[in-house]
Amino acid sequence: MELNTPLNTLPGIGAAREAALGKLGLHTVADLLSHFPRDYEDRHLYPNIAALPQDVPVCFQAMVAEPFHSSYIRKGMTVTRGRVVDDTGQVDLTFFNLPYAKKVLEEGRSFVFYGVVTGGGRRAMAHPQFQRAEDYDAGDPIQPVYPLSAGVSNQRLLELMRQAMDCIPQIQETLEEDIRRRYDLAPVALAYRGVHFPKTWEELEVARRRLRFEELFCLNLGLALIRTRREEQPAAPFVRQDLGPFLENLPFSLTAAQLRCVQEAAGDLKRPVPMNRLLQGDVGSGKTVVAAACAVLAWENGCQAALMAPTELLAQQHHRTLSELLSGTGMRVGLLTGSMTPAQKRDCRGALEAGEIDLIVGTHALLSGPVAFRRLALVITDEQHRFGVDQRSALAAKSGQGEAKPHVLVMSATPIPRTLALMIYGDLDLSVIDQLPPGRKAVETYLVGQDKRQRLYNFIRKQVGLGRQVYLVCPAVSEEDPEGLKAAEQYGRELRERVFPDLRVAIVHGRQKAKEKQAVMTAFAQGQVDLLVATTVIEVGVDVPNAALMVIEDADRFGLSQLHQLRGRVGRGEHQSYCVLVSGNRNPQTRQRLKALCATTDGFALAEEDLKLRGPGDFFGARQHGLPQLKLASLAGDMRLLHQAQAAARAVLEGDPALELPQHAPLRRRVEQLFRENRDIFN
């Protein structure tokens, strides 16, 4: 058996099991050995039944006291019950739909059980795992639990893993000895053995630490290599930099944070290598004007800039805003969206090619069709997670600059805790607007139950009476909604006809035609609508300063970050603004989440809270930030290790910047493997 031996050549692996393993990404012995347990079960035996604690998983040996018996509860449900004993006590066992337990658990025989003890007077255990006492291996008391798919049991994976163990000595070491010594890391063979078959918890921790370090180390190396590669590409340097007239023309002065971000970007743009900067700032922090400043720099240097928005609505709004912000400069700002007529699009494309537009704002329409630029040297995207890497490079290909690559500025309101962001993006490439424009009043946020509906309606009426406008957001579009959530369309009609016949109520949702949506949003922006019932189409970016109340129905259905984004739609003007979260959900965790939103308006604090409550899994998922999925390490929890891995990576690259030395070949392969699915991230 070799590391590259296909699993289907092993005994007992037929087509069905091969397919099931394939679903887990397991094709070879090497894949199998890199399939790490997601958890471990402590199978150390408690001395006797009397010593068993309750409500935690325990392992104990006992004898079957009487024959087990099965009974039908209802169709498709059998319960098998029995009793096991030792000298100190007894436990009632129950199995559901496991009639074979009755056969195996013979009276008078001893077994080892694993499960959770419950019950007051009488100890009980539901659905324990069990094995014959003579099969219990006291030398292997820590049992790995693997991520599974239908068709492969944990037991089966364990057996396969035992066979694969023989190949562990073939795994190449990726961490040189001086790194291992310096950071006190186990050699590779020990780590693999320890992670799959730890003899002790200490051994497991030693193994896991080494493997987590390796992941973070490779992540850092990969990111650094990507950055180096990018820096080898040419870009147009924006050497002329005079923002004076632009800044003097603005209706406000920039905050210190905005100014710093502009300077950071300007510094990048001066260089003949492509900028790749993430501009991070909470909703309302004023990212647009920073983007405008960058566009001015492009223009001063005879180049074009493009701003890509995720939706038509946002593109139109950005077009309006930027036209105003740039009105004193003489720059020509254009708009290109899907809903324009073919003739309008043709004109726009002609103007782009002729260089008659300096800043083009658009949606995906910018990418489709025969767009060509005269000299596109700066691409700005709003909300990175809706605008993929492929799309950005597609735009780069049409830039008309030959070999030179455009500079890229990515604006995002998704807050990443700062230490983490610095590590992910490196200190060169992140700008944070950590300050709101002056005079903003914090949005007051309340959580209310369904019983307060009448008071809520009164409050809406009162706000409208004061001349304000109101958003009301529902999670779903139509009434074919099994869970009875407030559906925008149906609920909007009800509000318009029954509750607020005297108010101007409009409805907007994602399934409407672009034109229809646009008409509604324009009417709202112009103050012709009092109450806008909407789905999350209004989530990002829409700017109506007169809107002072945001009501979110079934708020528990949204993530914290999304709720925070929604709330950012109000509080953009001079009026005291409010956000009301409506939820009948009584789950304590859910309520804690929603209360966190009431307690703070700091997006970064909320991001930390979200992280705590939901775990790093979805929050820092590869999808959102374009990073490879890590198996063992956590970007959120392993700060110390992260810094060590970062330092180690820096040291290695100092001696071998492209990771080309022969002794680094195994390491390079590992890095490439980690970035297999993300080859072009950040390019």
Residues of this chain that bind ligand ADP (CB under 6 A): 252, 254-255, 258, 281, 283-289, 413, 437, 543, 572
Q: Which long-range contacts (CB under 8 A, 24 or more apart) does 40-46 make?
A: 40/142, 40/143, 40/144, 40/145, 40/198, 40/204, 41/114, 41/142, 41/143, 41/145, 42/141, 42/142, 43/112, 43/114, 43/136, 43/140, 43/141, 43/142, 43/143, 44/141, 45/112, 45/136, 45/138, 45/141
Contact 405, 396 (CB under 8 A): yes
Residue 557 interacts with which of Mg ion, ligand ADP, none, CB < 5 to 8 Å by class: none
Residue 543 interacts with which of ligand ADP, Mg ion, none, CB < 5 to 8 Å by class: ligand ADP
Nearer CB in complex with Mg ion: 310/541: 541
Nearer CB in complex with ligand ADP: 157/473: 473
Nearer CB in complex with Mg ion: 194/541: 541
Q: How far is the CB of 387 from ligand ADP (least distance, A)?
A: 15
- In the chain, what is the straight-line distance between the N-terminal and C-terminal CA atoms, in Å? 40
Binding track over 302-331 against Mg ion, x by CB under 5 A:
------------------------------
Nearer CB in complex with ligand ADP: 286/417: 286
Q: How far is the CB of 284 from ligand ADP (least distance, A)?
A: 5
Return the closest-CA partner of residue 268 out of 281, 277, 259: 277
User: Which residues are registered as beta bridge partners of 125?
Assistant: 93, 117
Q: How far is the CB of 381 from ligand ADP (least distance, A)?
A: 12
Nearer CB in complex with ligand ADP: 255/512: 255
Contact 511, 477 (CB under 8 A): yes
Task: Tell me which residues in 623-682 interact with Mg ion (CB under 5 A).
Answer: none
Residue 281 interacts with which of ligand ADP, Mg ion, none, CB < 5 to 8 Å by class: ligand ADP
Residue 283 interacts with which of ligand ADP, Mg ion, none, CB < 5 to 8 Å by class: ligand ADP
Binding track over 527-566 against Mg ion, x by CB under 5 A:
--------------x-------------------------
Angle (nearest 5°) at CA 185 between 184 and 188: 155
Strand order in the sheet with 469-473: 444-448, 578-582, 547-552, 469-473, 531-534, 505-508
- For residue 168, the tally of other CB atoms under 10 A from its CB is 17
Unique residue bearing structure tokens 């490196």: 426
- As a whole number of angstroms, the distance between CA 364 and CA 316 comes to 13
The two structure tokens encoding residue 360: 């083009």
Q: For 577, which DSSP code? A: -
Residue 261 interacts with which of ligand ADP, Mg ion, none, CB < 5 to 8 Å by class: none
Q: How far is the CB of 590 from ligand ADP (least distance, A)?
A: 27
- As a whole number of angstroms, the distance between CA 8 and CA 12 comes to 8
Pairing of strands 505-508, 469-473: unpaired
Q: How far is the CB of 604 from Mg ion (least distance, A)?
A: 17
User: Which residues are registered as beta bridge partners of 476?
Assistant: 487
Helix (H, G, I), strand (E, B) or coil at 257: helix
Residue 505 interacts with which of ligand ADP, Mg ion, none, CB < 5 to 8 Å by class: none
Q: How far is the CB of 543 from Mg ion (least distance, A)?
A: 7
Q: How far is the CB of 391 from ligand ADP (least distance, A)?
A: 20
How remote is the C-alpha of 330 from its chain's centroid? 40
Contact 75, 96 (CB under 8 A): no
**What does residue 268 show for φ and ψ, rounded to 5 degrees?**
-60, -45
Nearer CB in complex with ligand ADP: 329/634: 329
Nearer CB in complex with ligand ADP: 284/362: 284
Q: How far is the CB of 20 from ligand ADP (least distance, A)?
A: 47
Length of the chain: 683
Binding track over 490-529 against Mg ion, x by CB under 5 A:
----------------------------------------
Residue 284 interacts with which of Mg ion, ligand ADP, none, CB < 5 to 8 Å by class: ligand ADP
Please provide the DSSP assignment of 103-116 as one string. Answer: HHS-TT-EEEEEEE
Nearer CB in complex with Mg ion: 349/572: 572
Pairing of strands 110-118, 129-132: antiparallel
Residue 100 interacts with which of Mg ion, ligand ADP, none, CB < 5 to 8 Å by class: none
Binding track over 577-616 against Mg ion, x by CB under 5 A:
----------------------------------------
Residue 286 interacts with which of ligand ADP, Mg ion, none, CB < 5 to 8 Å by class: ligand ADP
Please provide the DSSP assignment of 372-417 as one string. Answer: --S-EEEEEEESGGGS-HHHHHHHHHTSS-TTPPPEEEEEE-----
Nearer CB in complex with ligand ADP: 255/601: 255
Q: How far is the CB of 123 from ligand ADP (least distance, A)?
A: 58
User: Total binding residues for Mg ion by CB under 5 A?
Assistant: 1
Binding track over 46-85 against Mg ion, x by CB under 5 A:
----------------------------------------
- As a whole number of angstroms, the distance between CA 300 and CA 280 comes to 25
Residue 437 interacts with which of Mg ion, ligand ADP, none, CB < 5 to 8 Å by class: ligand ADP
- As a whole number of angstroms, the distance between CA 421 and CA 415 comes to 9
Residue 509 interacts with which of ligand ADP, Mg ion, none, CB < 5 to 8 Å by class: none
**What does residue 87 show for φ and ψ, rounded to 5 degrees?**
-65, -20
Q: How far is the CB of 251 from ligand ADP (least distance, A)?
A: 7
Nearer CB in complex with ligand ADP: 144/286: 286
Q: How far is the CB of 421 from ligand ADP (least distance, A)?
A: 16
Task: State which residue has the least CB distance to Mg ion.
Answer: 541
Binding residues for Mg ion (CB under 5 A): 541
